[in-house]
Copies of this chain bind each other. A is one copy, B any other.
């Protein structure tokens, strides 16, 4: 069960209103790596977890992330406080308010739709979606996702710190960023406290494919590194070898019942493409008789997009069009 105290986990001291900065910081309120995503990632894992130690840790950190969500939302609220009242009370000139709400994009939505209150949208005004939550119900997998998520959240806070010069906001963002570092460390500990955590899950994989590196992108820029070279790797440079990687012919087949085969054939006939045809097409009609190689002519001299062929072409079109459309 959750409880709440109206004091924040970190004091928020904003120097002056700044609705545009508010919208940028909403990235950590309703964005992909924001605090709701973090809280919900660990909360859903915690509910589904049987191991008591991990369950406790997941609920500890999920709960703290909710408190962070509250801190971020409070920053947004303070940065918008003046705008919110002005917009609600309509005491300023329209043109001034228009400039204040930011004319279009996130700031407009944040003002017009949400009235300056904190909203679960990211810095572009896109609503939060649970598609961001990558809990998968297997601890050796989920802990890796958590480690990665904390790393992502850390870097987003770092970028926000880099662009903010309000010292109170910067200070609170610094706290939040640091907590992501601490959380990453906890999740790392929890991952490695599971003895065999790689490969994840239970099935070991097919041995010969587990150490194969396929050099799929070739040409200039091909490089070596510990990720594709050395004793651990069987590297494939000749791609024909993996077309296919097994001993088959690289096709896809299915055994169909006779009645299905007959209908498949029927469908094939109905939609048969005649490779020997040279059909007149809608584009041919649409281009007009003299319009060039679309059918069997030449596009003329007008084809450089950096010049201005439009008039000449239009003139050419004028001439030929009546003949055709009827």
Contacts and interface: CB of A to CB of B under 8 A. Distances in A.
A260 B86 contact: yes
Contacts of A161: 90, 203, 305
Nearest to A7: B250
Contacts of A247: 11
Interface in A48-107: 48, 50-57, 59-64, 66-67, 69-70, 73-79, 81-82, 84-91, 93-95, 97-98, 101-107
Interface string A160-203: 11111101001100110111011011111111111111111111
Given A156-B136, A227-B189, A242 B124 contact: no
A109 B89 contact: no
A52 to B, nearest CB: 5
A208 to B, nearest CB: 8
Contacts of A186: 213, 227-228
A176 to B, nearest CB: 9
Highest count of chain B CB atoms <10 Å: which of A136, A149, A222, A263: A136
Contact of A303 (B164, B210, B225, B239): B210
Given A86-B260, A227-B187, A8 B47 contact: no
B217 A283 contact: no
Contacts of A57: 223, 225, 227-228
B53 A224 contact: yes
A219 B249 CA distance: 12
Contact of A193 (B130, B211, B277): B277
A175 B98 contact: no
Contact of A264 (B31, B63, B85, B117): B85
A1 B5 contact: yes
B89 A70 contact: no
A191 B220 CA distance: 23
A209 B278 contact: no
Nearest to A187: B227
B207 A303 contact: yes
Highest count of chain B CB atoms <10 Å: which of A82, A88, A280: A88
B152 A201 contact: no
A25 to B, nearest CB: 9
Given A51-B273, A161-B203, A270-B202, A115 B136 contact: yes
Contacts of A11: 244, 246-252
Interface string A126-161: 111111111111111100110111011011101111
21 contacts: A2-B64, A10-B250, A11-B244, A23-B104, A44-B117, A48-B77, A59-B217, A61-B216, A105-B107, A115-B159, A128-B130, A139-B271, A140-B151, A145-B151, A154-B200, A188-B284, A189-B281, A193-B279, A199-B287, A207-B299, A232-B296
